[in-house]
Amino acid sequence: MTTRREEREVALVTRSASGIGRSVAEALRDAGYIVYAGMRGVDGRNETAARSLRAEDEGRVHPVEMDVLSEKSSVAAVEGLARAHGRLDVVVNNAGMLMNGMAER
């Protein structure tokens, strides 16, 4: 006899306000995951993106304030979802850092 898990798997996707991160968050949502969509400015510059993710999701996408350059912000986001669900099954780190500068030959 197999035990059926009642709760869906929980995923965290960084930089999910737009682009690849948003597409990954939506794909995980459509696959049945509970998704935490990490982004900077949930109540500021990305408020519209956060609101539209919430509206489309049937309660499965949770925009969360997360700046991966800040340990405090990252820890707070992960601790919040851990309190809510007791676990984290998938992490998609879509955040990156762009280095501009001269290249030597």
Tens of pLDDT, residue by residue over 24-35, are 999 999 999 999
CB 90 within 8 A of CB 11: yes
For residue 5, is pLDDT > 50?
no
The tally of CA atoms less than 13 A away on the side-chain side of residue 67 is: 9
Q: What is the pLDDT of residues 34-88, one digit of tens each?
A: 999 999 999 999 999 999 888 876 778 999 999 998 999 999 999 999 999 999 9
Q: How many other C-beta atoms lie within 10 A of the C-beta of residue 87?
A: 10
Q: Where are the chain's structural domains? A: 10-92
Crossing angle (nearest 10°) for helices 47-56 and 19-30: 20
Residue of 5 and 101 predicted with greater confidence: 101
The CATH architecture to which 10-92 belongs is 3-Layer(aba) Sandwich (3.40)
What is the greatest pairwise CA distance in the chain?
64
